DNA sequence: GTCTATAACTCGATAGAC
DNA sequence: GTCTATCGAGTTATAGAC
């Protein structure tokens, strides 16, 4: 449990620049015209805008969200957004990049370290860490990739292929875990089916239905989908969690 | 295969009024001002508008679609839409109603006739017929229920609970098929997991990836998720398809 | 029943003061 | 760095001609 949280917390961070200097964290007053609206001045207005936009895009869609609403959420005026971002699409691009890249990198790490653990444990670990990342993302921005107006947007093209890599990674790990137990080469591959299952947490989260057993239940279902027996699932779970704790 | 298609074709029909009179099907010329745009006059302009709207909503989102675009797709002028619908939201409501109601009714029928077939065959039949319905829906409108701006819309409230009934139905059928094989009472229930799997065809369809084996592959995965062994899955499949053919 | 024209409004983005 | 003010384009919906 703590391993899970630690992992996802490390992987996903809302603040992009790791080299935040003191002046950025606490900007001295008097730099620029003071904000009109109440509340404390943000440590990083760019991140405030991103957070507000993420929440709104996910709950009302990209096209359904206005820059004025984003500005309200971030505590500044509509026009002030354009000091930090060149356009509304640029805000979307920043969010898109963050939301997949973390998942793909994480999946790559687990796949790379697959030799040292049993294949079924590796799959369990992959599912758990990926779902933890999805759950830990601010405002459920994993959902952005499901929005048609986002997919239709030109900025999607720059990040869409990353999702394909994620599916392929799931496929490779699952194929090894399934061994010969399930018929291979079905039209939606194992990778597709598993990613579909795992991303169910996005809908559950939107409905406020993430409980303490949610991630474990779905991860077990993933192994079951590979034809792995119940006792083996339980064992893989133990192995995976201790492996994750060491990361 | 033919059973599958026949079923879904019957269940889902784009034309709502079964009592279409002759004058509606072939409106005599001179009724109203002639259309400006080329192409034949529609048998039913209301359905043309719905079809155009469905395609656009699904591909660009509800908020991202303008009434002008809908009108273009339907072959008339923007303002003419308002003779058939009172508002843009009314168009959405008409589409929402059609897209779930068919699935729920169909699921109810299969659940009702569950006594006469083996539980695992019933689940297979449910999955296959539901996916066939999703695939047969014009313009993939099953996706409407995934769009945040649709969910946020006030008209969604009128039809959202229907989807809950669908999940519950899946849960009951699956629980009987799974018997004691899988741990019961997980937080996302079996119904949630299965609906999540089944609705994967929506994404696959958007990516033009529905092949001849797609539905069968996913239906088998559903039984696998209930801990059913490979040979039993194959047998359930045969039973289900013949049962569906008789419907 | 469909058209043209337009009212009333909101959108994203820019210019320039502070 | 954030503000006010505003522009031009595009939005839904209505009014009335045909």
Chain B residues with beta carbon closer than 8 angstroms to that of A148: 58-61, 64, 143, 147
Tell me the per-residue pLDDT of A100-154, one tens digit each, with 9 for 90 and over.
888 999 999 999 988 899 999 999 999 999 999 999 998 899 999 889 999 988 8
What angle do the packed helices A88-112 and A119-136 form, to 10 degrees? 160
Distance A92 CA to D5 C1' (A): 27
Distance A223 CA to C18 C1' (A): 62
Per-residue pLDDT of chain B (247 residues; tens, 9 = 90+): 333 333 333 323 333 333 333 333 344 556 778 777 666 666 689 999 999 999 999 999 999 999 999 999 999 999 999 999 999 999 999 999 888 888 999 999 999 998 899 999 999 999 999 999 999 998 899 999 889 989 988 889 888 889 899 999 999 999 999 999 999 888 899 999 999 999 999 999 999 999 999 999 999 999 999 999 999 999 999 999 999 998 7
A64 CB-to-strand C distance under 7 Å: no
Tell me what the mean pLDDT of segment A146-164 comes to: 89
Q: Look at A62 and B64 and tell me if their CB atoms are within 8 Å.
A: yes
Closest nucleotide (C1' vs CA) to A33 is D2
Nearest to A148 among B58, B183, B186 (CB): B58
Compute the nearest-CA separation of A56 from chain B (Å). Answer: 10
Compute the nearest-CA separation of B225 from chain A (Å). Answer: 5
Chain A residues with beta carbon closer than 8 angstroms to that of B212: 187
pLDDT for residue A19 is more than 50 = no
- What pLDDT, on a 0 to 100 scale, did the predictor assign at position A12? 35
Compute the nearest-CA separation of A196 from chain B (Å). Answer: 6
Covered bases, chain C (protein CB within 7 Å): 1-6, 10-18
**Which among B46, B40, B52 has a CA at the least distance from the CA of B16?**
B46
Dist. CA A206–CA A137, nearest whole Å? 12
Q: Is B86 on the interface with A (CB under 8 A)?
A: no
Dist. CA A16–CA B79, nearest whole Å? 47
Tell me the per-residue pLDDT of A46-72, one tens digit each, with 9 for 90 and over.
999 999 999 999 999 999 999 999 999
A28 CB-to-strand D distance under 7 Å: no
Dist. CA A140–CA A156, nearest whole Å? 18
Dist. CA B215–CA B147, nearest whole Å? 23
Chain A residues with beta carbon closer than 8 angstroms to that of B233: none
**pLDDT interval class at A39 (50, 70, 90):** low
Minimum CA–CA partner of A193 in chain B: B197
Distance A55 CA to C3 C1' (A): 42
Q: Is B170 on the interface with A (CB under 8 A)?
A: no
**pLDDT interval class at A14 (50, 70, 90):** very low
The number of beta carbons lying within 10 Å of the beta carbon of residue B180 is 7
> DSSP state, A110?
H
> Which of the residue ranges A13-22, A95-104, A136-145, A166-175 has the most confident prediction, judged by mean pLDDT?
A166-175
- Please state the three-class secondary structure of B17-57 as a single string: CCCCCHHHHCCCCCCCCCCCCCCCCCCCHHHHHHHHHHHHH
CA A217 vs CA A3, A106, A245, B189, B195: distances in Å: 17, 21, 19, 9, 15
Tell me the per-residue pLDDT of A222-240, one tens digit each, with 9 for 90 and over.
999 999 999 999 999 999 9
Mean pLDDT of the residues in chain A: 86
Residues in chain B: 247
- What pLDDT, on a 0 to 100 scale, did the predictor assign at position A4? 35
> What residue has token string 């656009």?
B56
Tell me what the mean pLDDT of segment A173-181 comes to: 95
Dist. CA B215–CA B232, nearest whole Å? 18
Minimum CA–CA partner of A233 in chain B: B182
Dist. CA B147–CA B133, nearest whole Å? 19
A73 CB-to-strand D distance under 7 Å: no
Q: Is A188 on the interface with B (CB under 8 A)?
A: yes
**Which among A70, A132, A116, A62 has a CA at the least distance from the CA of A93?**
A62
- What pLDDT, on a 0 to 100 scale, did the predictor assign at position B40? 60
A232 CB-to-strand D distance under 7 Å: no
Minimum CA–CA partner of B57 in chain A: A148
Q: Which residues contact A141 (CB under 8 A, 6 or more apart)?
A: A54, A57, A58, A95, A98, A99
Q: Look at B225 and A221 and tell me if their CB atoms are within 8 Å.
A: yes
Distance A64 CA to C9 C1' (A): 16
CA atoms within 13 A on the CB side of B24: 11
Q: Which residue is nearest to nucleotide C5 (CA to C1')?
A: B79
- Tell me if A198 sits within 8 A of A180, measured CB to CB: no
Covered bases, chain D (protein CB within 7 Å): 1-6, 10-18
Instruction: Calculate ∠ Cα A74-B58-B102, nearest 5°.
Output: 120
Tell me the per-residue pLDDT of A202-223, one tens digit each, with 9 for 90 and over.
999 999 999 999 999 999 999 9
- What pLDDT, on a 0 to 100 scale, did the predictor assign at position A120? 97
Q: Look at A193 and B200 and tell me if their CB atoms are within 8 Å.
A: yes
């Amino acid at each position: 449990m703590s391993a899970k949280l630690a992992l996802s917390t490390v992987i996903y961070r809302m603040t992009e620049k790791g080299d935040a200097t003191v002046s950025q964290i606490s900007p001295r007053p008097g730099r620029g015209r003071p904000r009109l609206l109440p509340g404390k001045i943000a440590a990083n207005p760019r991140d405030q805008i991103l957070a507000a936009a993420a929440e709104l895009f996910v709950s009302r869609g990209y096209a359904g969200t206005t820059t004025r609403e984003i500005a309200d959420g971030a505590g500044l005026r509509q026009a002030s957004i354009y000091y930090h971002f060149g356009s509304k699409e640029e805000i979307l691009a920043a969010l898109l990049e963050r939301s997949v890249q973390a998942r793909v990198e994480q999946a790559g790490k687990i796949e790379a370290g697959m030799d040292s653990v049993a294949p079924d444990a590796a799959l369990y670990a992959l599912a758990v860490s990926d779902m933890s990342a999805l759950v830990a993302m601010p405002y459920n921005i994993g959902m952005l990739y499901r929005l048609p107006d986002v997919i239709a947007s030109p900025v999607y093209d720059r990040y869409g292929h990353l999702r394909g890599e994620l599916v392929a990674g799931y496929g490779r790990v699952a194929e090894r875990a399934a061994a010969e137990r399930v018929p291979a080469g079905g039209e939606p591959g194992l990778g597709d089916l598993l990613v579909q299952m795992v991303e169910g947490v996005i809908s559950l989260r939107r409905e406020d239905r993430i409980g303490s057993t949610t991630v474990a239940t779905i991860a077990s279902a993933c192994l079951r989908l590979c034809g792995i027996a119940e006792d083996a699932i339980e064992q893989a779970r133990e192995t995976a969690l201790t492996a994750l704790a060491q990361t």
